[in-house]
Amino acid sequence: MTATVPLGTLRPVVELRGDEMARVMWDLVRDRIVLPFLDVDLVTFDLSLPERDRTADRITVEAAEAVRDARVGTKCATITPTAERLGTGEVRRLWPSPNGTIRRTLRGVIFREPVVLGAVPRVVPGWTQPIVMARHPYGDQYQAVDFAVPGAGRLTMTYVPDDGGVAVEHEITRFGADGGVALGMHNVTDSIREFARACFAHGLTRGLPVYLSTKDTVLRSYDGAFRDTFRTVFEDEFADRFAAAGLAYEHRLIDDMAASALKSGGGFLWACKNYDGDVQSDVVAQGFGSPGLMTSALLGEGGRVLLTEAAHGTIARHHRRWVAGEDPSTNPTATILAWSRALAQRALLDDAPQVGDFAELVERVTAGAIESGCMTRDLASLVGPHQAHVGTREFVDEVARHVRDELHRTRTRAHADGPAGRAGMVS
């Protein structure tokens, strides 16, 4: 079938393929929902674990740089290798998380938001409005140094100033004969400041109040830096705009914030440090029904670059069933939305409104399919034992069928309207 959407001067979208069941869904969505209807220029990088191992992970850096240059990318979930994989000879080294490499290259902030659908009961029924999770994707546990301590000894932490000033040393603890483990982590003020700006700007764009959660009562300097930087950025740059928009900003302890969020109706942006954002995003995704309904976008380079992704992981257990010949009924909605949001951004940057209309159509059709009862197992189980479910491939084909029908009706109307209505359409 030829493309039915005019492209104009659309520039490339960078596609980052991944692993396991996530990759199966990725290819299904690309080949059945996107490419049959949109002749988009894709720059593809294979970030599967075997390819990252073959290239000594060079391909991950190249992919991140390509996204930065193109300003729009979309990413499939990928594997971060474990010691078990190293032990089987599957990989030569414990390569770092591709997500971490990409996030550091793009200097980005992750925003995750659930898709709220009336047909899908929520695990937290009071959440009637979306909760946008903002995760600071730098430092903390993800760029920490951790090691096993073999025996008795003294653990210290030392800061040596570049200007030749006096070094600062802190004694962390003294280990006994049995040793233990140690962890050292860091963050940087510039990154925290950019995180704050991105959160406040996104809150204004979405019309949502912003909350930052930390544990500054325990980590007085570390979490205190987040608290103080957010307060300074808000007061200096955003307070007047928030007041004009009728929005508020507040810092809360993370335990208080978690409890308040569960009792709320949603409708706010929740800013978290790196690890906190990782965990709380999963909680919010499940609370709204399923990780398969969670959108995820990395805004990098001060908002100049958008990388969308499906944030539910590679789903290894389902992939084993797929390889065995089963259809595990994995939810591809987040994958579909990763593609549609990237296409919408490409359309916005390149002034291609009909491509934006196509992206909107894909999202509308996907939501409509679920609302009409076409559900994968994760969603059907929330509705109840009498709700039927479909397989992964069947769900993708259902969405593709509706997209094809809608585009056919649009083309038919355009022909009926005459030459003006047909301008730019591909026959």
The residue among 36, 12, 17 whose CA lies nearest residue 402 is 36
The residue among 395, 403, 402, 392 whose CA lies nearest residue 24 is 392
The residue among 74, 34, 120, 26 whose CA lies nearest residue 358 is 34
Distance CA 210, CA 395 (A): 36
103 assigned binding-site residue: yes
Residue identified by tokens 């809360």 is 252
Residue identified by tokens 């084993």 is 320
Task: Dump the DSSP string for 70-86.
Answer: HSEEEE---PPP-HHHH
274 assigned binding-site residue: no
381 assigned binding-site residue: no
3-state secondary structure of 278: helix
373 assigned binding-site residue: no
190 assigned binding-site residue: no
99 assigned binding-site residue: yes
For 173, the token pair is 């603890």
Instruction: Please check whether residue 312 is in contact with residue 21, taking contact to mean a CB–CB distance below 8 angstroms.
Output: no
Which residues make Cβ contacts (< 8 Å) with residue 179, sequence separation at least 6? 148, 149, 150, 151, 152, 153
350 assigned binding-site residue: no
Angle at 199 between CA 198 and CA 200, to 5 degrees: 95
Quickly count: other Cβ atoms within 10 Å of residue 183's Cβ: 10
80 assigned binding-site residue: yes
Quickly count: other Cβ atoms within 10 Å of residue 301's Cβ: 15
Distance CA 188, CA 229 (A): 11
178 assigned binding-site residue: no
Instruction: Please check whether residue 99 is in contact with residue 42, taking contact to mean a CB–CB distance below 8 angstroms.
Output: no
Quickly count: other Cβ atoms within 10 Å of residue 88's Cβ: 8
97 assigned binding-site residue: yes
278 assigned binding-site residue: yes
255 assigned binding-site residue: yes
Going by the annotation, the residues of the binding site are 80, 97-103, 112, 135, 255, 278
Going by the annotation, the residues of the binding site for Mn(2+) are 255, 278
Going by the annotation, the residues of the binding site for D-threo-isocitrate are 80, 97-103, 112, 135
